[in-house]
Structure 1
Amino acid sequence: MGIGGSVDFKRWPLGHFAELGAEISACRQGTLFICGSIAEEEEALNLQKMIFQRGGAAEVVTRLSIQEAFAFMKEGDLYIGNDTSLLNIAGSFGTSAIGLFGTTPPLTYVPAIHPVLSPNPVLKGKEAMTAISPQSVLSYLRQNQLVGFI
């Protein structure tokens, strides 16, 4: 899961990530990673605690070089996150990538990026991102049978 974002209005709420992360932990074997930059490490650690409090588990990855980030995204089964460079990296390698798009237009240049849009196109900024529910992301995963979510 990629929690970062160049601007605040492109960032999904941590509570939504926590709910989604706990659900994914319960549904899938493997390791759930919380990805971000070193500047987002405290936020990532807080999210890790939130997921743990909901019965899930996650590892924090915030200290990768650019080369390591590329290798990491290439090896993943699924990426879920904001409209950021990590989303683009994952999708470019063919890793299934769920992009959370509130106000910004969805990326469509590679088929591996799957946009989940705000359900209310009238909303703008942070409100548009908040309107994307964890349940809608899970529904998208199940409907599209991405990495075994059925």
Structure 2
Amino acid sequence: MNACPRVGGRPDTRPKTAVHMRHNGMGDLVWHAEYFRLVAATSRDGQVTVVVPPSARALDLLGHEPWVREVLDYDRRPRRSEGRTGRHSGLFGPLRFGAELATRQLDRMVLFSDRPGRALVACLRAGIPTRIGFGSTWLQRRLLTDGPRVPLYRGTAVGLYHDATALALANGWSHMPMVPRLTVRPEAMHRMRARLAGMPWPLHVLAIGASESYKQWGTRRFTALTQLLATRGHGVVLLGGPAETGLSLEILTALPAVLRSRVLALTDLPVPDSVAVLSLAQTCIGNDTGMSNIAAAVGTSTYIVLGPRPPLDHDPVHITLLQAPALEDIRAEQVLEQVLKLRDAPRGASSVEPVEATTPSRPINAT
């Protein structure tokens, strides 16, 4: 084990630790963040090195957290939509990354992954003596050194959060499932309070981005919902990334001119500022995307237009699922009906004082 710094006059003998998640999305990272924090509480200096794909945007979402030592991008398999080759792709990519890990002189790696290749990198190239993971395959079990075997979730909901929960419970880092939570950077909150100061209230964020086309509710439906909300005098923020700039312009152009002052398109914000916008809104309505999951994690009542896909059940207070046999069957009027239930909620939703949903989150049958 590496030489230990002294804390309060005594050596800190806890292991210097990295945590790893193989999935690409920001929403995936949201589901893991609380468990990463709990692993950090058992680690050297109360911190961990976070090892995730760059598309998870860990530096933007978690880089300000005191329990994060550093963020390392494991750029193994970029999404096809990115149209590039990862820095750690190819036959020798994992070995290159293992060499990067080796310079950190880690004592322990916690693998929120069932893939044996990650354990192999930690074992053979990075020289990390303690390796903990699910052990759900024969090969991964051979490469792990500690912790019980943890079976993967086989239920009907999206399983990634349940798998992370099971790993944390089995190893004693948590005694109950942790609802995902994020904190907002203070400087981002200050900027976005100023930028949204003139917007009408209630303020609704429409998370119009989608990583896959089958998750996209569509221009026509988002336009209809925007018009319904703005007609009632509410404020609407169209939130997305640069890829949604065209979509936001289509929505704005389709609105009557008298309503456009109540609608703000924000598709060029850095991720921390988008997080702050979500925390300042009364509701978020959007596709099954990272931003919708972030909205719930900062305490904003969130409506996810999910369609017929497996449910998300990690936050029964802040998330309401809108489901139907087909995504296009969910109408803007039905979404509006759910959102208007919060019209009398107090202003000032934030990650510190979240506005909670008036009823427990549950799937809404749109048929």
- Normalised by the length of structure 2, the TM-score is 0.36
Match of 1:56 in 2: 259
Match of 1:134 in 2: 332
**Aligned counterpart for 1:34 among listed residues 227, 238, 252:** 238
Q: Mapping of 1:93-108 within 5 angstroms?
A: 93-108=298-313
Query: Which residue type is aligned with residue 7 of structure 1?
Result: E
Q: Distance in 1 between matches of 2:343 and 2:288?
A: 21
Distance 1:96 1:73 in 2: 10
Residue 113 of structure 1: aligned partner: 319
The aligned runs of 1:73-92 (5 Å cut-off) are 73-92=278-297
Give the Cα separation in 1 of the matches to 2:256 and 2:310: 33
Q: Tell whether the 8 Å contact from 2:207 to 2:238 is kept in structure 1 after alignment.
A: yes
- Counterpart CA distance in 2 for 1:148 and 1:106 is 28
Q: Which runs of 4+ in 1 moved over 6 A?
A: none
Q: Secondary structure at the match of 1:105?
A: coil
The percent identity for this pair of structures is 26
Q: Is the 8 A contact 2:237 2:265 kept in 1?
A: yes
Please say if residues 283 and 339 of structure 2, whose CA atoms lie closer than 8 Å, have aligned partners that are also in contact: no
What is the CA distance between 1:42 and its match in structure 2? Answer: 1.1
- For residue 75 of structure 1, report the CA deviation from its aligned partner: 1.0
Decide which moves more: 20-29 or 91-100.
20-29
Looking at structure 2, the residues matched to 32 and 48 of structure 1 have their Cα atoms a distance apart, in angstroms, of 11
Measured in 2, the distance between the counterparts of 1:148 and 1:100 equals 23
1:140 shift after superposition: 2.0
Structural RMSD (CA)? 1.7
Aligned mates of 1:134, 1:148 — CA distance in 2 = 20
Q: What do residues 8-34 of structure 1 show as CA deviations (whole Å, max 9, x unaligned)?
A: 0101021111111111011244x2111
Partner of 1:21: 226
Instruction: Say whether 1:45 aligns with 2:243.
Output: no
Instruction: Identify unmatched segments of 5+ residues in structure 2.
Output: 1-205, 346-367
Amino acid at match of 1:112: H
Greater Cα radius of gyration, structure 1 or 2: 2
96-105 or 83-92: which moved more?
A: 96-105
Instruction: Assess if the C-alpha contact under 8 Å between 1:78 and 1:147 holds in 2.
Output: no
Contact 2:207–2:285 under 8 Å retained in 1: yes
How much has 1:48 moved relative to structure 2? 1.2
Which one-letter code corresponds to 1:135 in the other structure?
A: E
- Contact 2:242–2:268 (CA<8 Å) still a contact in 1? yes
The higher-RCO structure (CA 8 Å, 6+ apart) is 1
1: distance between equivalents of 2:314 and 2:292?
12
Q: What SS class does the counterpart of residue 227 from structure 2 fall into? A: helix
Whether the aligned pair in 1 keeps the contact of 2:239 and 2:274 (CA below 8 Å) is: no
Rate the CA distance shift 1:10–1:39 in 2: closer, same or farther, 3 A. Answer: same
1:147 matched residue in structure 2 = 343
